[in-house]
Structure 1
Amino acid sequence: MKSIFLFIGRIILAGSFACLCAAPFLFNAATLVLLTQALSMLTLAMLWNLVAGYGNVGVIGQHAFVGIGAYAFFGFAVLAGWGLAVAIPAAMAVTLVFGIAVYGIIFRLRAAYLAVGSWVVAETIMLVASRLEVFGGGSGMAFPAQILKMLGQRPPDRIVTIYLMALVVAIATFLLIWALMKSRIGLGLAALRDSEEGAAVAGVNTRLVRAATFILASPLVGLVGVLSTLQKGRISHIASFSMLDWTIYVLFIVVIGGLGSLEGPIIGTVVFFLLRELLQDYGAFYLIALGALAIAISLFAPRGLWGLARHKFGGDIIPLTHNPK
């Protein structure tokens, strides 16, 4: 039963990957927009899972780095007139600097204090962004047409380009986390996930590991902000720094799928978007259903849907063995 379960899971994963690669040839523009959103959320979920699920840094201010990436990219591409090939890595560098600064502020906090502290920092940055008149202040600004045309002359071409960018970012993020988890650092992260005290006794530098995961994730989260703002064609402090879109939904995805696993964010993203498409026409009941499901999973399956399946069938769909070299 175990081998059959893992075989079917790997076949589904491989088939989904092939389908995503061929999506521009298979689906219309509306579906590609939806898939782009799903890939962006998956990337954020994988990164938050790395920080909170493995690094044990329970932040709820991830939306700050999405907004910083979006605003920095807008500044470099529109205000400074840099090309996309330079503006995108520059925006990631700015987000990295902010990541180091924010961690320097909150690294002494733990548990609820860490969560609240990270949220306060994120909201403060959002309020500062809303006062920046050069970025449109509280109203935001749209990208000039010539910037968007760098992605394609026609809207359908731009949709395909942004989708492919989101796909590459999601794949690169997954491979980076997978390689990290197979290294010595990954062994320390796995120990930290299971028991912080035990990891410290075993010689893991818990402070360094936490800092590494938080700082490593920040520029990639900023890159998702770049993709999001390109897809929307504008920046605004409300959308770019949206706690609901970039933090709350991401937490839901990871909790539902399974915290501290590679498979969890993938499963959680699929469940979230299926529920969103099925229930979004029901107004407030949509959010109520999401909240009720999250509470039920937290109470009866704290390891998430993947943790439940793994306990029943055993093994991992995505092989993960640590290389001591």
Structure 2
Amino acid sequence: MSRDPAIRVERWTPLSRLSILGATLLLVMLAAGPFFFGNNAIDKLTTLFIYVILAVTWNALAGYGGLVSVGQQAFFGLGAYAAVRLADAGLNVYVSLVLAAVIIAAVSLPISSFMLRLKGGEFAIGMWVLAELCHLLVNLDSLVQGETGTSLIALNAYDADQRHAFNYWAALGSMTAILVILFVLLRSRIGSAIQAIRDNEEAAAALGVRVMATKRIIYVFAAFGAALAGALWLSTAITFQPKTYFGVQWTAYMIFMVLVGGLGTFEGAILGALIFFLIEAWFGGSGVWYLVGLGATALLFSLFVPRGIWGWLERRFGLSLLPLGYRILGIEPTAGTSPPDDGERGATPSAGTP
């Protein structure tokens, strides 16, 4: 089959290549952060990295997988709880953080067999019920002592400066790994299958997509990310109180970040995490009005800017820094043909692009 030389299909652009280079340089500079920043700045950046993890993994589940969950705090809390348990058993505290997320991801695998049978609103409410059930079960552990909670006392083995630096590097490394894994996953055949299921599950199944297995992959990945974020948050807060870690506000934060940044866009979730981080830094001390403001902002974005800030930029200017799909460029004139109309010129996302 011959290809029309007048049609160009591309994935990487000069801008996207430059973006990857810039992101790599930024990560290298951030890795040296503890040698130049004070503990306060280090703690704030650690918080930002955790927010990015929460945003991109919820966006993977809902924005790309079409599985809108209001119960991701279940895995966030379980990740922190598992880290406490592993550290109490004598395991190195920083090894416990990562291993806790792996264990919770493994636990989410059998849970997915039940939860993924639910559709739409049923899935969302089912996840919230799961979170409440996990909260109650954790409260029964004598180590936790109900809502009194416990502490990650193993961190006392490190002095304050060491603890701030190690928490920072753990969060930065975890965020980088999550972003790289998700980027590779969404650019693969599995990523295309995930988005096909989101758009039309029956049609995807008719084309041979293994619907349940594919949904399970993104569900377990999102659970791993939330659990890792919970464990990392524990390393900065030190204390573990179930009502704090299993609170629905964590999922509310995830939803806010993704709605404002851009649901179903890779860059949008990162942008939303940064925006939420700045809003919290400026207005976090406003009490209940801070939460009211977050809710009102999310509502306004869902009504008037449903694709979020990055989604709007992407549609308005064709901006794509980290392309996941292919782009079909406008037909270029060849010998003996007239130039295309203005409406035909330019880049158009392919079917594989969200």
TM-score (ref. length: structure 1):
0.88
**Structure 2 residue aligned with 1:111:** 120
Please identify which structure carries the higher helix content. 1
SS in 2 for 1:260: coil
RMSD: 2.4
Which of 255, 258, 268 matches 2:259? 255
Q: Is residue 60–residue 116 contact of structure 1 (8 Å, CA) maintained in 2? A: yes
1: CA distance, partners of 2:198 / 2:32: 36
Which of 223, 228, 249 matches 2:228? 223
Matches within 5 A, 1:125-144: 125-144=134-153
Equivalent pairs counted in the alignment come to: 315
1: CA distance, partners of 2:17 / 2:110: 44
2: CA distance, partners of 1:81 / 1:7: 45
- Amino acid across the alignment from 2:253: Y
Q: 1:198, CA displacement in angstroms?
A: 4.0
State yes or no: 1:36 paired with 2:46. yes
**Structure 2 residue aligned with 1:186:** 191
Matches within 5 A, 1:152-167: 152=158, 154-167=159-172
**Which runs of no fewer than 5 residues in structure 1 stay unpaired?**
none
**Structure 1 residue aligned with 2:339:** none
- Amino acid across the alignment from 1:231: T
Q: 1:101 to 1:9 in 2, by over 3 A?
A: same
Q: 1:149, CA displacement in angstroms?
A: 4.0
- Amino acid across the alignment from 1:288: V
Q: Is residue 135–residue 141 contact of structure 1 (8 Å, CA) maintained in 2? A: yes
Which of 100, 113, 126 matches 1:91? 100
**Structure 2 residue aligned with 1:56:** 66
1: CA distance, partners of 2:288 / 2:198: 35
**Structure 2 residue aligned with 1:320:** 324
SS in 1 for 2:67: coil
Q: 1:67, CA displacement in angstroms?
A: 1.2
Q: Is residue 102–residue 121 contact of structure 1 (8 Å, CA) maintained in 2? A: no
Q: Is residue 257–residue 266 contact of structure 1 (8 Å, CA) maintained in 2? A: yes
Deviations 1:165-205 (A, max 9, x none): 00000000000001111211012123234443443343322
**Structure 1 residue aligned with 2:243:** 238
Q: 1:295, CA displacement in angstroms?
A: 1.1
2: CA distance, partners of 1:157 / 1:254: 33
2: CA distance, partners of 1:23 / 1:240: 28
1: CA distance, partners of 2:302 / 2:90: 47
Q: 1:84 to 1:95 in 2, by over 3 A?
A: same
Which of 293, 300, 303 matches 2:307? 303
SS in 1 for 2:148: coil
Q: Percent identity?
A: 32
Which of 272, 277, 283 matches 1:273? 277
Matches within 5 A, 1:189-204: 189-204=194-209
Q: Is residue 279–residue 286 contact of structure 1 (8 Å, CA) maintained in 2? A: yes
Q: 1:265, CA displacement in angstroms?
A: 1.0
2: CA distance, partners of 1:280 / 1:219: 27
